[in-house]
Structures are given as C-alpha cells and as structure tokens.
Amino acid sequence: MLPRMGTHLGPLARDVDAILARLERDRVVERVWAKDHTLWRTEPAEIADRLGWLDLVREPPPADAELEALVADVRREGLADVVLLGMGGSSLGAEALRASFGEQPGFPRLQVLDSTHPSWVRRVRRAIDPGRTLFLVASKSGTTAEVMAFYRYFRAETEAAVGAADGLSFVAVTDPGTPLARLAAECGFRHTLLNPPDVGGRFSVLSRFGLAAAALAGIDARELLRRAHAMAARTRPGPPAAENPGAWLGAVLGAAVARGRFLPTLLTSARVATIGLWVEQLLAESTGKEGTGALPVTLEPAADPHAYGDRRLFVALRYGRDAELDARVEALAAAGQPVVELALDEPADLGGELFRWEFATAVLGYVLGVQPFDQPNVQTAKTETDRLLAAFRATGRLPPAAADGDLRRALDARPLFVALMSYTDAGEGYEAAIAALRERLLRGFGVATTFGYGPRFLHSTGQFHKGGVGCGLFVQLVAETGADLAIPGEPYGFGTLCQAQAAGDLAALASQGRRALRIDLGDDATAGVLRLVDELG
C-alpha cells in the first residue's frame, strides 16, 4: 500500500502553489527523470555520475543472485551476527531499516558500527563472537578512514579468535575498482558486492549499501524495492506537480526554506523514529551549502506549539495508529504551524518513503539553486584531522585543544539553532541527559536543537554546519575516552582518532566563521550534561 500524505500548510500555502507552477513551467519532473544536469548546473561534474539512484527502482525488482546466495550461505552456516562497518551513506539507511523492522527470526542480528569512540567499538566487540560473525565493510570510495580502521581492528580480532588468517568473515560493499575492492581480492574476502558507481552515498539506501545489510538480517529487500517502484511511478512525468508526491514535498520544503523555516522538524511514531537519522543526512548534506539549505530536527522533546517560533516546518511520519502523534499534529496546526503528514501502514512502506525523500531532495536542490549531489565542505574537517594525526605521528601526542564552555553566554547572541555535537560514548543515561538539555534549551531559550554523535555526523549534517545557514551555535561535547584501543598498523588508537576528529571539526567550523564552542564534560559524560542543564537554570 502506498504511503499516504496530508497537509496543513497555513502560511506556506501560496508559496507552495507558486513553486509548483514553477516546476511545471521549467519541466522539472521531466528533467530529473531525463537526468538533465542543467537543472542544477551548467557543467555535469558530480551530477551526471550521481543520478543512478533513479535506475534502482524497476518492476519487477531484479533478482540479486549474488546477495541471495550470500544470505543463504550465512543462514546455512548459522552465523549469529552481521556487523556493518560504515559511515554516513554506507550506514544510516541500513540503521534506519534495522531499527524499523527489528530482529527477524532465523536470521542473524544486525549491528551497525559508525563511531570511532573506543567504547563504541568495544561494545560491539563484546556483543559478538567473531567466529560466528559476518562483517560488511562498506565504503563507496573504498578509502573511508574510519571504515578501514574498523576493518583492521576486527580482522585482527577475528584471526585471534579462530586461530588463523581468515578473510571469509568479511564482505566488501563498494564501487568497482576501489582500493577496498582490491583489498578484498588480495585478502580473501568471502565476497565483494559491487555497487553502481553512479549512485552517490546518501542516495544509496536502495542499492546494496542499504539492502545487503537488510537482506542478511531477514528484511525482504525485493519488497522494499517494489514499494519504492510504486512511489517512483507516481513521481514520473505526466500528472501535475501538485499530484507528484516527491515534487510536492520538495516544493513544500523549498517554500519553507524561502520563508526562513529552514528547520524541518520530524515527528515520528516510535517504530520508524530512526528514519530521521537518514533524512538528516540526505537533506542537510545535499542542500546545506552556499549559505542556504534545510537542517532537519529529529528526536526533539515535545513542547507547546507556540514555543517553536517561526523557523519550523513540521513533518509527521505516522506508523499505523498513533493517537499521541495525531494530537501533536492537531495542536500544531491549530497554532498556525505548517505541518505535513505522511503515513505508513507497515514497515515495507519505508521503501516508498525513502524514494519519495530522495526525489524531493533533488527537487529541493533545484528550488534553492544548489547542487544537491556534491559535499564541498565535508573535506575541510577531514583535512584538519589528517593534519592533527600527522602531528601525532611526528610527536607522539595531539596538540592541546582548549575548552571554551560558557554556553549561557553564547546563548545571549540568540542563535536560531544549537547543534549539539557529541564526541562521546552513548553510556547509560546519556541520551536521557541530552534530551533534558534539549528540552531546557527549547523551553527556556526558545531555540531549536539538533544532536549527533561524532564522527558520524561529519558524513551527514557536517556539510550543513560548514556550508549552510550560518546563524547557529555549534556546541562540541567531549569527555574522557578512557583507555585507548589500538588500531592495527597505526601508531594511534581509536581514542586518539576520535579526539583528532573532534579537534579537526572544531578547526573546520572556525575556518568557515561559525560560532563554535567546546565543552569538556569530564570523565562522566552523563553527569557533565546534567551539570549543563542545572547551570542553564
């Protein structure tokens, strides 16, 4: 069944109509499907080779014999776990599907590792038996630094556990001809799943980057593609743009950003809440450039509708019956806040929803006049991190990073949003403490908050942080990493890598003139956040 949608556009209604008329005049839907790069830029670079996501949804969905054979082998061997080693586009879609579908009887448990904090890595290691685990090493470029560090660590752990060199515990998911593809061949990986090279990372959830992990965990990948195809059929040329679910959503998002409502706020039923992590990456990294863009707000504590101000567009994604979410939508609409409603009847409907958002993002790029398929500011933080690690190799230590933690004073500048960037472990009680901090900032200071773990968000909202709307406050939360965890082949461990990434991110923000501060939470991150809540009164 196709995902449904409704709307309470309020102050945006006329603007949406005007944009829809513009889409019709400029034949935007037709040109997206024709892969016309001039819709976004005169030159085809990083556009013509990034539109393969349109080709992933066909009817009937093609059989993936390689993947199906791999799933059958894993089940026959009775492997207990599949661990996806990825970052950004290689991990967030799979994580959203894993959490939405839950564990499937008779299939391995799926875990996603996308943090370099040593406690996160240790937690995954403790949860598995390396001898009964399949590791998916996922990287489009085949060079992602974090992914390769994960691989080297778990390769050593697996060989120690089984007592022999063993590449059969590893499967590469990458583009043809990458260093990872060559490594897989040289080191005897069980298999290499090659992805179409013209599918960009954040648009890759319906490719093997999202579907391989899903299928291994028992999720029906072909059914997801069927639902995606049904949605794609509704976005093709023909009907008016107002009846095209992807173009319509792109128009609404564009109208909101043009009116200063650049913070699309996702309200979700609990079952599908993690789709927000994927939407964050898709929208923020695709549109957060040239001083504009949409920055999704996800998993934010609820507040009175009037507390939200006039910078929001609310998107309610309902799964089944959800009286609590319905009540929030009704209250927001009554207060004059613009609200879009999307509804799913079953988890497989996510296939259609994922495609809808991809198409909407392409349209939104056109509306905002930005190129949605590149990420020009992401490299800045990587470059700064590489510089710091080079210093560590030369001296045996990282340059000191001073803490500048006066959050209350920084709030006096009245930022339009606060990005909480946490280079910490997700220890016991930590996310509840973060929720309390976000609630205090919203109710006490009237400011929207986003929250992300580093370095994961560097491959997601990090692009918006450096290239998007610059009127925010960027708050880096750091804590003691505890005992380091060695990365085989490197003179530093995961703790040092995580610290370098945090310091590199801060330097990158400063280089773009962003207002950023660093708060040291001490040796107990949860207690440190709760202290912040108390200090804010």
Report pLDDT digits (tens) over 256-302.
Answer: 999 999 999 999 999 999 999 999 999 999 999 999 999 999 999 99
Q: What was the pLDDT predicted at 58?
A: 83
pLDDT digits (tens, 9 = 90+) for 337-380: 999 999 999 999 999 999 999 999 999 999 999 999 999 999 89
Q: Kindly state the average pLDDT of the residues 59-67.
A: 86
On whether the CB atoms of residues 153 and 124 are closer than 8 A, the answer is no
CA dist 25 and 395 (Å) reads 61
Q: What type of residue is 48?
A: A
Q: Which residues have a Cβ under 8 Å from the Cβ of 187 and sit 6 or more positions away?
A: 155, 167, 170
On whether the CB atoms of residues 416 and 311 are closer than 8 A, the answer is yes
Q: Kindly state the average pLDDT of the residues 197-220.
A: 96
Q: What is each CA distance from 521 to 101, 144, 351, 375, 421, in whole angstroms?
A: 35, 29, 40, 31, 12
Q: Kindly state the average pLDDT of the residues 485-501.
A: 96
- Full-model pTM: 0.96
On whether the CB atoms of residues 353 and 275 are closer than 8 A, the answer is yes
Tokens of 410: 């920084």
Full 3-state SS string of 181-204: HHHHHHCCCCEEEECCCCECHHHC
Domains in the chain (CATH in brackets) are 4-41+238-368 (3.40.50.10490), 65-224 (3.40.50.10490), 378-535 (3.40.50.10490)
Strand duo 417-423 + 4-8: pairing: unpaired
CA dist 45 and 23 (Å) reads 23
Identify the bridge partners of residue 83 per DSSP, sorted by sequence position: 111, 135
pLDDT of 2 over the 70 cut? no
Q: What was the pLDDT predicted at 62?
A: 79
